[in-house]
Amino acid sequence: MYRGPSAFSEPETQAYRDFFLQNQNIVSHIDFHAFSQLILQPWGYRVGAPPDAELLNKIAVEMSNTIEDVHGEFYNPIPANLLYLASGISTDWTYGDQGAYAFTVELRPDSFFPGFELPSNEIISTAEENFEAVLDLLNFTRVLSSGDFDYDGNYDCVDVAALSDAIVHGSNKAEFDVNGDGATDANDLSAWLANAGASTLASGGAFLPGDANLDGSVDGSDFNIWNENKFTRTHEFCSGDFNADGFVDGSDFNLWNERKFTSSDSTGVVPEPSGMAVFFGAFGVFLVRRRLCRG
Ligand SMILES: [Ca+2]
Ligand SMILES: [Ca+2]
Ligand SMILES: [Ca+2]
Ligand SMILES: [Ca+2]
């Protein structure tokens, strides 16, 4: 795709941009290129690591390992700026502006011989190994959209702190719209408490507002956490900001007080998130829209 003399000067890049602007639930993105056998992560236009470098690298390494398992080909997972600096590449915009976890996959071969003229007997196997990597990224997208924002397999204080930070300070990342209604607000905290409780607690119930230590019970230990942090400015649920407004105050105490000495039960049953993939042109886009059903 021709980048043009200035940002979004061309109809192709405008269409690409508009698709993202019209679909604000995009969590991850692949731009497929030939060639070099690389999985490139932001940034490409500047030196230095982006805020999500660790997570970007984690899923890139996972995709690389998956590809290698299929036909034994190694795709090196590296930041794009280690290859060379390049401006106008799509993934810097989809990550930096739109908040999608974005990768450029450089397909086979790994050298200038044969370079762009991949032998026809390698086309199918190239597609096969990359399809498995796409499934990895789709699963990653599903996990993030279910509330495990650091993709470590746990739903804990780290995840809810990331969500509350997004609610208080705003975020361009679609995964923080946990209930899939197009906004990131306190309703997503409720949705996270339901999802995380269902995934974590033996009862399968929702975590309750006031349960500062996320152990399934609202009790004196949670009050102590609120009390130690009361009248301070923090957005952390596990420090006592139970309504994600950036302060630990009386309204949070009231949430604790309403539920004190109760335990999570199975009233907040939530289904598995559903995912779908959309491909067009030379790149793929993954969408996950969360539906939350409360019974
Ligand atoms: Ca986590
Ligand atoms: Ca929402
Ligand atoms: Ca507790
Ligand atoms: Ca609060």
pTM equals 0.87
Q: Which domains does the chain have, with CATH numbers?
A: 11-146+275-288 (3.40.630.10), 157-263 (no CATH)
| Number of the ligand closest to the Cα of 243 | 4
Task: Compute the distance from residue 249 Cα to the ligand 4 centre, in Å.
Answer: 6
pLDDT per residue as tens digits for the range 119-143 = 999 999 999 999 999 999 999 999 9
For residue 169, the CA-to-ligand 3 centroid distance in Å is 26
Q: Is the pLDDT of residue 288 over 50?
A: no
Q: Give per-residue pLDDT as tens, 46-57.
A: 999 999 999 999
The pLDDT of residue 77 is above 50: yes
Which numbered ligand comes closest to the C-alpha of 162? 1
Query: How many angstroms does the Cα of residue 115 sit away from the middle of ligand 1?
Result: 41
DSSP the chain: ----SSTT-SHHHHHHHHHHHH-TTEEEEEEEEESSSEEEES-SSSSS--TTHHHHHHHHHHHHHHHHHHHS---EEEEGGGT---SS-HHHHHHHTT--EEEEEEES-SSTTTTT---GGGHHHHHHHHHHHHHHHHHHHHHHHTT-TT-SS--SHHHHHHHHHHHHH--S-GGG-TT-SS--SHHHHHHHHHHHHHHH-TT--PPPTT-TT-SSEESHHHHHHHHHHTTB----GGGT-TTSSS-BSHHHHHHHHHHTTEE--TT---PPP-EEEEEETTEEEEEE-------
* Residues around ligand 2, an ion, CB closer than 5 A: 177, 179, 181, 183, 188
Ligand 2 geometric centre to CA of 116 (Å) = 44
